[in-house]
Each structure stands twice: as C-alpha cells, then as structure tokens.
Amino acid sequence: MTIDINVISEKDRNSVLHPFTQLKDFATGKIGDPTIVETGKGIRIRDAHGNELIDGFAGLYCVNVGYGRTEVSEAIARQAHRLAYYHSYAAHTTDELAILSDRLVKMAPGKMSKVFYGLSGSDANETNAKLVWYYNNLRGKPTKKTIISRERGYHGCSVISGSMTGMSFYHDHMDLPLPQIVHTGVPHHYWGANPGETEAEFSARRAAELDQLIETLGPDNVGAFIAEPVLGTGGITPPPEGYWAAIQAVLNKHDVLLIADEVITGFGRTGSMFGSQRYGMEPDLVTIAKGLTSAYFPLSASIVGEKIYRVMEEGADRVGAFSHGYTYSGHPIGAAAANAVLDIVETEDLPGNAHQVGAYFQAQLKDRFAQFPIVGEVRGVGLMGAIEFVGDREGKKRFDPSLKVGPRVSKAARDRGLIARAMPHGDILGFAPPLVTTKAEIDDIISIAESAVRSVMDELV
C-alpha cells in the first residue's frame, strides 16, 4: 500500500492525542512530523520514507519474538475467522483461553491458581490492587489495605497503577498518587548507597527501611508490596545483591502480599522465564502483559496465587459472584496470539537466548562504554541494559537537565539507524531488543550506540 506521507502526517497532527509527547511542540511542528511506521521484520522496523531502523527497544520492551512472525499473525487470523469474540463472564470460555490459562498457571513463579485477563499492564495492576483489598476483606482484615511501591517503580498510568508508579512526573497535574499507595526507597546502589556501603549492606538497609515503614503504618494496615523484579522505566536497574531475599523476609514477617510486576521481565527478558525465578521471589500475584503476546494483540493478566484464590473461593457463598471483569477479559484472539507466542518462546528457548546473547550484550556494554568520561554506570541483565551519563564521574553528579544529554544520545542513535530509548528519569540510554536478537545484531547495536555516544561526548567535552 502506498500512502501519502503529507496527508497522513496532517491527519495525525490534527487528530491524534499522542502519549508522552510535548503537545505544543508537536502541534507547531517544532519536533517535526510524526514518524509513520509501516512495516517490521525481525528486529527492524521501516518508516514511510523507507528508512530502516534497528529496534533496540522492541517497541516498548514488548515485541519479544520480533516483528513479522507469521506463526502469530496466522493464529490471529484463524481465530478471527473461527470466532472473533466471545466473553468469559458467567463461566464462558474458548479452547484457546483454557489452554493458555493452564500453561500460565504451570509456568508462573510461586504457587499459582488462576488467571484473570485484562488488556494492559495498567489494568492488570488495577485488578491486583482490587484483589489485595478483596482478599483482606474476605478474610476479615478490612484495614489491611495500603499498598507499598517503590520510588522509580513503573506500574502503569491508570489511577491506581499510576499511583503505584514512583516518578512524580507521572503524577503531577493529574491529582496522583492516591493515598492508598505509599512509596519506599529505590534499590539503586550507584545513587543510593552511602560511601563504602556494599551492595548487600545497602539491600539490608532498604529492607530495614521497608520494615520500619510497615511498622509506622501498622502491619494491620499494609496489604501488599508491588515491585518489578528489575526496575524498568525507572532506569533499567537490576536489584543489588541480596535485595530480594531481604525484602521477602520483611514481607513474610508482616503478612504482606508480594505483587511481582513482570510486565517487562516476564517470558524471558532477564534470561529466566520470569524475573521472580531469577531472583528467588515468592509472589502472591504476578502481573503480565507485553511479552505475553509480544504485543501482537493487547492482552494482560493477573496470575492469582493459591493463597489468595482459596480465600476468594471460600468467601463466595457469603459475597456472591466475583464482581470484576471487562468486556474483553480473556479475548479469544488475544489468547490465540498468546498461545502462538508462547510456542515460539518455548521452542526457540528465548529465555535461553536472552541468557546467552544477553551475557554477550552486557559484556559489550561494559567493555565499550564503562570507561567513557561521561558514563557513570553501565548496568543490566539478560537483554535489558542501560548506560547512565553523568556530568562528573568522580563526584557522581548528574548533567544539568537542560543539556538533555540522554535525549541527545538517543537522537544521535536514531539518526544512525538505531532505536535506543532515552529513559525518562535521568540521562539514561536504555536497551531492550527483541529476545530473538543474535550476537551479530548485538554487534550492530553496540557499534551504532558507540558512534552516537561519541558524537554527543564530542559536543560536551
């Protein structure tokens, strides 16, 4: 199909309200025309001008199986022809949905029981908050409701999930966070540790702070702790040594549920099927989205632990039907897409690829960038990584934000044919390529990124 780029750009500018876009700069053309993305194959996308870009961020860390997988598009088409829709209310189901749910319960971390479906990571976290409240109401602990999340955590943009998100620019001017959500310190050793403090000591301190926060709020008032196994949008930051064991002990001590937000880390990105498995977490609820369908269809889920589900089932005679659900919960096309994607994840062992190619990627990132005078830290795990830029390496000081170092490096990479994301918190270049990325493709990503970083460094020093 040939499109008229000017016509599409004008229609878009006049009518689309774009997320995370400076509205005036877009409306006035200051930031140029929209990028019209037309096709994708493997780890590359092509825009309407015919420019090919390596997608070093897999869309938004989601197209894990890569673009153009006909196994998935054909599964979607087959299901659409056979039965495009039916709901899952009042015990209705489809074969694809039942098969998918059985797979998810078996593969998920922790002792899981049931799967509830939504359409986005945000709505799945919204569901998880309601499940925490429902569970504690049903078991006679009606005050145990506060949910603790972390500064720099990202859990979505809806009202509760946006409140869970721990970055103020997601709250400002939108009346968030709601008082049911309280934040605790981010486990980022580079920025948070005291001089000389080891990773293990720092982890123990963060756990002690959480313990103290729960004591202050009152253990009878705290229902759950929500966290990503590896911080994603807050800066792609793996946990410091010993963090999850120390946190888990505090949660167990106070009978506080753990919600593992595996929206990014689920289905292989860290080199394990789930981040919880990699870090020995024992979640009671697991949030999944993105990689579940590799974004070929909008689908998310809350995987509900046995402990919570038992209480829900036992309470059913008292409270009646479980009164929560969406028109599109368990959409059969989404389920078919997810089953086709999970087939690829399993047969091609994408967690194994993320582990192996990821180790190479992490080594290359460290080798090529860690010594640059504007680089403070290089970090990551599996196929997610970040380079954090600082104005003063010795004194650990950030660049003046007005220099926009992160966005400039990201733009320089883009001009050279690589999408690597300027993370919103600090001057950070983030990578999360598809899990099918090969070592040779990592070499391409690294060499373009190096050229981009050098070009901005030359302008700065």
Beta-bridged to residue 418, according to DSSP, are: 54
- Please pick, from the candidates 155, 269, 331, 425, the single residue that binds ligand PLP as defined by CB under 6 A: 155
Q: What's the rounded Cα separation, in Å, for the pair 167 and 349?
A: 34
Q: In a 3-state reduction of DSSP, which class is residue 321?
A: coil
- Please pick, from the candidates 66, 166, 232, 266, the single residue that binds ligand PLP as defined by CB under 6 A: 232
Site for ligand PLP in 3-62 (CB under 6 A): 60
User: Is residue 385 a contact residue for ligand PLP (CB under 6 A)?
Assistant: no
- Compute the residue count for the chain: 461
**Least distance from ligand PLP to the Cβ atom of residue 119, Å:** 8
Site for ligand PLP in 272-291 (CB under 6 A): 289
User: Is residue 128 a contact residue for ligand PLP (CB under 6 A)?
Assistant: no
End-to-end CA distance of the chain: 46
What is the DSSP-derived secondary structure letter of residue 400?
P
Residue with Cβ nearer ligand PLP (232 or 380):
232
Residue with Cβ nearer ligand PLP (96 or 261):
261
Residue with Cβ nearer ligand PLP (162 or 376):
162
User: Who's near 166: CB < 8 A, 6+ residues apart?
Assistant: 149, 150, 151, 152, 153, 154, 183, 186, 234
Q: What angle do CA 114, 159, 107 make, to 5 degrees?
A: 25
Residue with Cβ nearer ligand PLP (259 or 308):
259
**Least distance from ligand PLP to the Cβ atom of residue 140, Å:** 31
User: Is residue 431 a contact residue for ligand PLP (CB under 6 A)?
Assistant: no
Residue nearest to ligand PLP (CB): 121
Residue 57: count other Cβ atoms within 10 Å of its Cβ: 20
- Please pick, from the candidates 53, 112, 222, 263, the single residue that binds ligand PLP as defined by CB under 6 A: 263
**Least distance from ligand PLP to the Cβ atom of residue 301, Å:** 12
**Least distance from ligand PLP to the Cβ atom of residue 118, Å:** 9
For 352-381, the DSSP string reads: HHHHHHHHHHHHHHHHHHTTSTTEEEEEEE
Total residues binding ligand PLP (CB under 6 A): 15
The dihedral of CA 449, 451, 455, 457: what is its sign? positive
User: Is residue 332 a contact residue for ligand PLP (CB under 6 A)?
Assistant: no
- The stretch near ligand PLP (CB under 6 A) out of 170-178, 238-246, 258-266, 434-442 is 258-266
For 218-252, the DSSP string reads: -GGGEEEEEE-SSB-TTT-BPPPTTHHHHHHHHHH
User: Is residue 261 a contact residue for ligand PLP (CB under 6 A)?
Assistant: yes
For 97-164, the DSSP string reads: HHHHHHHHHHHSSSSEEEEEEESSHHHHHHHHHHHHHHHHHHTT-TT--EEEEETT----SSHHHHHH
**Least distance from ligand PLP to the Cβ atom of residue 458, Å:** 33
Residue with Cβ nearer ligand PLP (121 or 380):
121
User: Is residue 159 a contact residue for ligand PLP (CB under 6 A)?
Assistant: no
- The stretch near ligand PLP (CB under 6 A) out of 1-9, 226-234, 397-405, 435-443 is 226-234
- The stretch near ligand PLP (CB under 6 A) out of 78-86, 91-99, 261-269, 336-344 is 261-269
Q: Considering just the CA atoms, what is the radius of gyration of the chain in Å?
A: 22
Residue with Cβ nearer ligand PLP (227 or 456):
227
With 0-12 / 13-18 / 19 or more C-beta atoms within 10 angstroms meaning exposed / middle / buried, residue 20 is exposed
Binding site for ligand PLP (CB under 6 A): 60, 120-122, 125, 154-156, 228, 232-233, 261, 263-264, 289
